[in-house]
Amino acid sequence: MKPPPGLPGGSESAARRRGQWLVALQFLLIAGLLTLAAGGWAEASGLRRAAAIGLGLAGLGLMAAAVGAQRLGNFRIHPEPQAGGRLVRGGPYRWLRHPMYSAVLLCGMAALLLAGPGLLAAALLVALAGVLQQKAVMEEAWMARVHPEYPAFARARGRFLPRLRKR
């Protein structure tokens, strides 16, 4: 599958390689956040722990719902859609275009709460949000090419948060 026009990289292999780097960077940032969170657990107050557990569970729940809605047939960590995949509209995809990325960000916020004060965890979370934004833009460009109905689907849903008003 060739990358759609406008995808960074210009060529199929360059776009795929960029997607692979974004996936690798995503996991590196998540590992950094988890390391900081593990180190901050002992010093965290009961309220911070409870909030972090709540956010983490919300993220895991959203992730499970997204995977369940896809029935694992479409699941792919790379921004390029799976060949022969379908456009999922059920489950959390009724409200969000990227519920898995939203779940990762919720879990990242939980890690930030546990990490405690400091700029490093905040910087890692901001960088993770930037990486997920780039992956989402790439994925949406590919999805629009593979699924002609995707632009209308996208207009009706928020990228990472549900829309308050319909467009």
Domain that holds residue 49: 19-82+91-155
- In a domain, residue 28? The reply is yes
The answer as to whether 32 is a domain residue is: yes
**164 assigned to some structural domain:** no
pLDDT score of 7: 58
Give the pLDDT confidence score for residue 85 in this predicted structure: 86
Number of other residues whose CB lies within 10 A of the CB of residue 166: 7
DSSP-derived secondary structure for 13-55: HHHHHHHHHHHHHHHHHHHHHHHHHHHHTTT--HHHHHHHHHH
Q: What is the pTM of this model?
A: 0.85
- 120, part of any domain: yes
Q: Look up residue 96 and give its two tokens.
A: 């969000």
Closest by CA to 139, choosing from 13, 12, 19, 51, is 19
The answer to whether position 106 is within a domain reads yes
Residue 165 resides in a domain: no
pLDDT in tens, the chain (167 residues): 455 544 555 677 888 899 999 999 999 999 999 999 888 888 878 888 888 898 889 889 888 888 777 765 677 888 998 888 889 898 899 999 999 999 999 999 999 988 888 899 999 999 999 999 999 999 999 999 999 999 999 999 999 999 877 65
Residue 130 falls inside a structural domain:
yes
Selection from 159, 164, 43, 51 nearest residue 109 by Cα: 51
The per-residue pLDDT for 71 is: 62
Dump pLDDT digits (tens) for 80-98: 988 888 898 988 999 999 9
Domain count, the chain: 1
Would you say 29 and 127 are in contact if contact means Cβ atoms under 8 Å apart? yes
Residue 115 lies in a domain: yes
Predicted pLDDT of residue 77: 84
